[in-house]
Amino acid sequence: MSKNKPVVVIGLMGSGKTTAGVLIAEALGLGFSDSDPFLKSRYGGTAAQIAAREGAAALHLYEAEHVLLELAGPPKVIAAAASTVEDPEVRAAMRAAFVVWVDAPDKVLAERMRSSDHRPDFDPAAMRARREGYFREVASTVCDVSELSPEQVRDKVVREMGLPAGDRDR
């Protein structure tokens, strides 16, 4: 597998998509794109602000737009909002990428979600019920972040992408 293939990091809120994504991007020498800065620059708010202002459906549309735009460009590591897996067009586009599902038990995710005010108030169990099948459908690998550190996630991804040690830019 080539390090020129895009990598998409998916998972429920609080799973550490951004943290893992930054480390993976550094290791592969690729750019990094996260939905949170995309939303702020293009739509003037955090996910929580957009959901409150325009509703969840608009937020999810914007989050899907982020992934589709980034996958259409040069290869990079993309931290995708969890909602994006519900969009069939996004799932189809993800087939061209190496998709990393970062996951943890709902209790861990709920605690992490409370630690940040930029996230909308969603119940991890309800979101898992809606999205777990889609996560399984698109994931190239699964990383339990209650057991793996972000660095271990990075190392697992680079190893599973089949890159020789000389291609790792760490």
Q: Are strands 7-10 and 141-144 parallel, antiparallel or unpaired?
A: unpaired
| Predicted confidence pLDDT, tens digits, the chain (170 residues) | 456 799 999 999 889 999 999 999 999 999 999 999 999 999 999 988 999 999 999 999 999 999 999 999 999 999 999 999 999 999 999 999 999 999 988 888 877 666 555 445 567 788 888 999 999 999 999 999 999 999 999 999 999 998 765 444 44
* CA-atom Rg of the chain in angstroms: 15
Indicate the pTM of the whole model. 0.89
Cβ–Cβ < 8 Å for 65, 50: no
DSSP-assigned letters across all residues of 75-90: -EEEE--GGGGG-HHH
Distance CA 41, CA 21 (A): 19
Distance CA 168, CA 24 (A): 10
